[in-house]
Amino acid sequence: MKPHTPAPPAGAPGELERMAAFDLQVELATRIGVQELAPGTGSLREALGSLHAMFEFTRSTLRQYSISLAGGPPPGGARTVHAIADDLLNRTLRPFTSTWHPRLAAHEALRPEGTSPVAHEEAWADAPAMRAALTELRTPLLRIVGELSGISGAGFGLSAAGSQPG
């Protein structure tokens, strides 16, 4: 027999909502975008791929926990995991990836034979601008990590806010 789990207080996120928020929080907090890609380190292609992977992870997480969309907004103006996920994908990551993916892909297509992908990327005239845009992306991503933390009740990833660009 399954043990009885008491219902959360009115207006509090349910267990599935907290679990989904925590999964998204951990995944997002450990990716480039929240974690700084220091100048002269890493690969912009890998950073872009990491951010792009959040689309499938987020969709999968929402399906996995089957959080009801029918309940309407929670009291007090709090945001749901669905609303935060929509903001993450459609208003934060999508504008970044749709801008930088085609630009980087066009540059990569011009890589001369015998030149490493990393060396070719480092020579790209738009690399500093993409790195700057990636740094600017940290602010909304850290806000989203904080919102997810408010639902999950876990502080994971919030220490990155202490190193947020000024």
> Does the structure show a pLDDT above 90 at 112?
yes
Q: Can you give the pLDDT at residue 40?
A: 85
More confident residue, 8 or 153: 153
96, 137 in Cβ contact below 8 A? yes
Other Cβ atoms less than 10 A from the Cβ of 53: the count is 12
Q: Can you give the pLDDT at residue 17?
A: 93
Model confidence at 116, in pLDDT bands (50, 70, 90)?
A: very high
Q: Can you give the pLDDT at residue 38?
A: 87
Dist. CA 58–CA 71, nearest whole Å: 20
